[in-house]
Amino acid sequence: MAIDYRQARQRMVEVQLEARGIRDARVLEAFRRVPRHEFVEPAMAAQAYADRPLPIGHGQTISQPYMVAIMTELLDLQPDHRVLEIGTGSGYQAAILAELARSVFTVERMPELARAARERFDRLGLDNILQRVGDGTLGWKQYAPYDRIVVTAGAPRVPASLRDQLVDGGLLVVPTGSRLGQVLELIRREGERFAHERSIACTFVPLCGAEGWQND
Ligand code: SAH
């Protein structure tokens, strides 16, 4: 029997997001719309709406739906925002951001993952996402500054290049800590000052690069 993905998605939103305190109506609607099962390999599609991260190949993962939702809610996106994402991975978080902001710029260091994500964006007609292969710890200078920046891999510390590519009043969400565990940090730019707040504990794959972990 065919799986009813729309129903699985509805349940995911109720049980994993609403019941745990995700309140923003626009965020919840984005999760009802984006077909998460299109962002994993066909063999994994039946598990796409499970309450956990899933492997996407090359040692990387698509984050747990709740984690994507928390990060998205922290970003407080407005429809006119330009958003930079570091760590395209499957492209799922980028697709959620694309529902809520004007344009999404996303950087992935692994060409194979970037290619698979591009095919998904094309297939789903997500035409407000621009992507690039490279070291995202250095941001994407060409289109800076950004209203919002989100890093979907764990960093040893906040990459200075990313902070510096925020508009005044802009927000950056980044998991920082050790390789094995991090805390979500929310950074707000106030002129040349940066205010830090700490949110929940989390576990992401390492952010590898010039301003991330080295020798990976
Ligand atoms: N946002 C993704 C989660 C991907 S996991 C999703 O929704 O599926 C984190 C990703 O960050 C991995 O694909 C990894 O290859 C990538 N990554 C790690 N270091 C990076 C860097 N310096 N620049 C860009 N991408 C990086």
Dump pLDDT digits (tens) for 123-136. Answer: 999 999 999 999 99
Shortest-distance Cα residue to atom 4 of ligand 1 = 89
Domain membership flag for residue 183: yes
- Cβ–ligand 1 distance for 131 under 6 Å, the answer no
Number of domains in the chain: 1
Q: Give the residue whose CA is nearest to atom 14 of ligand 1.
A: 87
CA distances from 191 to 137, 160, 169 (A): 21, 15, 7
Q: What is the pTM of this model?
A: 0.98
73 found inside a domain: yes
* Cβ 161 under 6 angstroms from ligand 1: no
Label each residue of 142-165 as H, E or C: HHCCEEEEEECCEECCCCHHHHCC
**Position 215 pLDDT exceeds 80:** no
The residue whose CB lies within 8 Å of the most ligand 1 atoms, and thus the one to mutate among 207, 213, 216, is 207
CB of 72 within 6 A of ligand 1: the answer is no
Q: Is 216 within the bounds of a domain? A: no
Residue 120 maps to a domain: yes
* Residues designated catalytic: 63
Type of residue numbered 123? R
Report the side by side order of strands in the sheet with 103-108.
129-133, 103-108, 82-86, 146-151, 166-177, 182-190, 193-202
- Could you tell me which of 82, 83, 87 has the C-alpha nearest to residue 133? 87
Any domain includes 27? no
pLDDT of 216 reads: 62
Say yes or no: CB of residue 137 within 6 Å of ligand 1.
yes
Q: How confident is the model at residue 1 (pLDDT cuts 50, 70, 90)?
A: low
Looking at the domain assignment, is residue 21 inside a domain? no
Q: What domain range includes position 163? A: 53-202
Q: Please compute the mean of the pLDDT values over residues 36-48 and round it to a whole number.
A: 96
Centre of ligand 1 from the C-alpha of residue 25, in Å: 27
81 occurs within a structural domain: yes
Q: What is the pLDDT of residue 110?
A: 97
Domain contains 112: yes
Task: Report the candidate in 34, 135, 53 with the shortest Cα–Cα distance to residue 44.
Answer: 53
How far is ligand 1, taken at its centre, from the CA of residue 114, in Å?
9
Q: Which residues contact 152 (CB under 8 A, 6 or more apart)?
A: 63, 71, 85, 86, 87, 89, 93, 204
Instruction: Specify the CATH number for the domain of residue 82.
Output: 3.40.50.150
